[in-house]
A and B are shown apart, each in its own frame.
Chain A
Amino acid sequence: MQIASVYIRGKSHLMFGLCILFTAVILGLLGMVSGYLISLGYKSVDLALFTQLPVPAGAAGFPGGLQNGIVGSIIMIAMASLIGIPIGMLAGIYLAEYSSRSWLAGPVRFIADVQTGVPSIVVGILGYELLVVPLGSYNGWAGAAALAFIMIPLVARTTEEMLLLVPRGYREASVALGATKARTILRVVVPAAFGSVITGIMLAIARVAGETAPLLFTALGSRFLESNPSRPFPSLTVQIYHAAMEPYKEESRKAWAGILVLLALIFVLNVTVRLTMRASGYGARAAR
Chain B
Amino acid sequence: MSVVSGTLQSPMQSPPLPGDGGRLPRGGASIVQQGGAESRADLLFALLARGAAIFILIMLGALVLVLTTAAMPSITAFKAHFLASSSWRPNEREVVMRDAKGNIMRDADGEEVTVTLPPEFGALPVIYGTVVSSIIALFVAVPLSIGASLFIVRIGPRIGLLLGPISFLIEFLAAIPSIAYGIWGLFVLAPFLQDHLEPALNAVAGKVFFLRMFHSDQGLTGRDMLCAGLILAVMILPIITSLGRDVLRAVPRVQIEGSLALGATWWQSCQVMLRYGRTGLFGAIMLGLARAAGETMAVAMVIGNANRISSSLFAPAQTMSSLLANEFAEASSNIQRSALVEVALILLVMSLLFNVIARYMIVGRSARPAV
Contact = CB atoms under 8 A, between A and B. Distances in A.
Interface of A: 8-9, 11-16, 18-23, 25-27, 29-30, 32-34, 36-37, 40, 86-91, 93-95, 97-102, 104-105, 107-108, 110-123, 125-126, 128-130, 149, 152-154, 156-158, 161, 168, 171-175, 177-188, 191, 206-207, 209-213, 216-217, 220, 237, 240-241, 244-245, 252, 255-256, 259, 262-263, 266-267, 270, 274, 285, 288
A250 to B, nearest CB: 14
A114 B355 contact: yes
Contacts of A207: 175, 371
Contact of B8 (A97, A122, A126, A177): A177
B45 interface: yes
B228 interface: no
A116 B371 contact: yes
A171 B177 contact: no
Given A114-B355, A117-B294, A23 B180 contact: no
A217 B296 contact: no
A125 B67 contact: yes
B57 A178 contact: no
Main SS of the interface on chain B?
helix
A129 B182 CA distance: 27
Interface in B230-252: 234, 237-238, 241-242, 246
B195 interface: no
Given A182-B45, A210-B178, A213-B178, A100 B20 contact: yes
A30 B328 contact: no
Given A20-B151, A177-B1, A237-B177, A172 B38 contact: no
Interface size class of B (residues with CB under 8 A): 35 or more
Interface of B: 1, 3-5, 7-9, 11, 13-15, 17-25, 35, 38-39, 41-42, 44-46, 48-57, 59-60, 62-63, 66-67, 69-70, 143-145, 147-148, 150-152, 154-155, 166, 168-173, 175-184, 186-188, 234, 237-238, 241-242, 246, 265-268, 270, 287, 290-291, 293-297, 301, 321, 324-325, 328-329, 340-341, 344, 347-348, 351-352, 354-356, 358-359, 366-371
Contacts of B181: 33
Contact of B56 (A12, A108, A125, A241): A108
A29 B356 CA distance: 30
A231 to B, nearest CB: 15
Nearest to B28: A176
A36 B183 CA distance: 10
B183 A244 contact: yes
A175 to B, nearest CB: 6
A121 B369 contact: no
A132 to B, nearest CB: 10
A181 B49 contact: no
Contact of B148 (A22, A87, A256): A22
Contacts of A19: 147-148, 150-151, 154-155
Contact of A114 (B8, B46, B60): B60
Given A180-B41, A263-B176, A263-B180, A91 B168 contact: no
B183 A149 contact: no
B370 A168 contact: no
18 contacts: A19-B148, A19-B154, A23-B151, A29-B237, A32-B188, A36-B184, A88-B52, A91-B56, A100-B21, A119-B293, A158-B368, A173-B1, A177-B1, A212-B178, A212-B179, A212-B296, A241-B182, A256-B187
- Identify which of A182, A186, A262, A270 gathers the most chain B CB atoms within 10 Å of its CB: A182
Given A26-B144, A117-B370, A179-B7, A111 B57 contact: yes
A227 B356 CA distance: 40
A84 B320 CA distance: 28
A88 to B, nearest CB: 8
B56 A30 contact: no
Nearest to B358: A117
Contacts of B169: 27, 30
Given A117-B354, A183-B38, 6 more contacts: A23-B166, A98-B46, A122-B347, A152-B55, A168-B23, A241-B297
B348 A119 contact: yes
